[in-house]
């Protein structure tokens, strides 16, 4: 038994900076000697029971220490008799994630490899150049529920109800974040996410921030930026907010937990001013400015408990 978490799963959410993180992981796996297990399957996040069993079996038999990464909704290893791994993930503002995906599917990124044509070869020209405002305001399937209910299922899991926008999936996703994820960061504060990953999982992420800040790596990262993005009208954005109510409740819940964790470990980084929060459906945020009660949990004890998983 290795003296640190030897099974880590990054069930990465689409268009939440995962290609940047995977680039880092390729460098880190060579530098630190862990087994990076990736998947070429990008469009199958929901699995049958047999597919879940097969994937969990394949992951669990990988050479340890390993970090497995794939676009896949949360898998409950213990349900099939496996050891539950340490989960990590990153999410971002839901509207920004949706817009990035909308234009990436149509026009790809700066890598210039025509990957959007490869990903969507059957997309008709009128669909490829469909104005984002028309898509939203005229309620095209791509711009309405359940297509917009995207982030929560990655944390809710494989249960059919996890695909239905509602309180049940939202609460189950929150529960899994609390019980099964070592860290869920937010893309808007990626450097802080990397700092915490380096603190919690040094055998995987030591020196990750210095690699990320290296000009050569930043140059590679810039190639994965989606091109031809346009901003919808305020009316269209307001409609998206309303349709993505549960996504935003989850996003702000994760964001508050992330900020509590940052404060617990003394992170006081400078972050960009947040975008205005849609107040018409989301309750006021939890206050995190007060010092956290140190008696609640000792920092090192908290990390020890994680390492025993």
Which residues form the catalytic set? 71
Torsion angles phi and psi, residue 87, rounded to 5: -100, 140
Residue from 286, 287, 280, 284 nearest 245 by CA = 280
Give the orientation angle of helix 234-243 with respect to helix 245-264, to 10 degrees: 80
Contact yes or no for 248/241 (Cβ under 8 A): yes
Pairwise CA distance, residues 20 & 43, whole Å: 19
Length of the chain: 309
Pairwise CA distance, residues 234 & 165, whole Å: 24
Is the CA virtual torsion 55, 205, 294, 173 positive or negative? Answer: negative
3-class state of residue 116 by DSSP: helix
Residue from 164, 209, 185, 187 nearest 262 by CA = 185
């Amino acid at each position: 038994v290795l003296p640190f978490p030897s099974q880590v799963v990054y069930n990465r959410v689409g268009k939440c900076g995962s290609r940047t993180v995977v680039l880092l992981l390729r460098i880190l796996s060579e530098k630190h000697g862990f087994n990076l297990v990736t998947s070429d399957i990008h469009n199958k996040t929901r699995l049958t029971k047999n597919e879940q069993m097969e994937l969990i079996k394949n992951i669990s038999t990988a050479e340890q220490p390993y970090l497995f990464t794939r676009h896949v909704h949360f898998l409950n290893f213990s349900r099939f008799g496996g050891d539950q791994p340490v989960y990590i993930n990153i999410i971002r503002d839901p509207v920004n994630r949706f817009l990035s995906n909308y234009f990436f599917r149509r026009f790809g990124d700066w890598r210039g490899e025509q990957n959007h044509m490869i990903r969507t070869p059957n997309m008709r020209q009128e669909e490829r150049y469909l104005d984002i405002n028309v898509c939203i305001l005229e309620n095209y399937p791509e711009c309405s529920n359940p297509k917009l209910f995207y982030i929560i299922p990655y944390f809710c899991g494989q249960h059919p109800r996890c695909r239905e926008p509602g309180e049940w999936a939202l609460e189950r996703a929150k529960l899994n974040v609390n019980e099964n994820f070592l860290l869920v960061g937010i893309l808007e504060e990626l450097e802080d996410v990397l700092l915490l990953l380096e603190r919690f999982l040094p055998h995987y992420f030591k020196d990750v921030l210095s690699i990320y800040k290296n000009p050569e790596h930043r140059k590679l990262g810039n190639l994965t930026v989606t091109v031809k993005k346009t901003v919808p009208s305020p009316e269209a954005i307001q409609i998206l907010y309303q349709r993505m109510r549960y996504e935003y409740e989850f996003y702000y819940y994760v964001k508050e937990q992330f900020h509590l964790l940052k404060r617990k470990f003394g992170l006081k980084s400078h972050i960009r001013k947040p975008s205005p929060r849609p107040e018409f459906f989301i309750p006021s945020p939890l206050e995190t400015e007060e010092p956290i009660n140190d008696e609640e949990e000792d920092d090192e004890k908290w990390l020890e408990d994680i390492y025993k998983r």
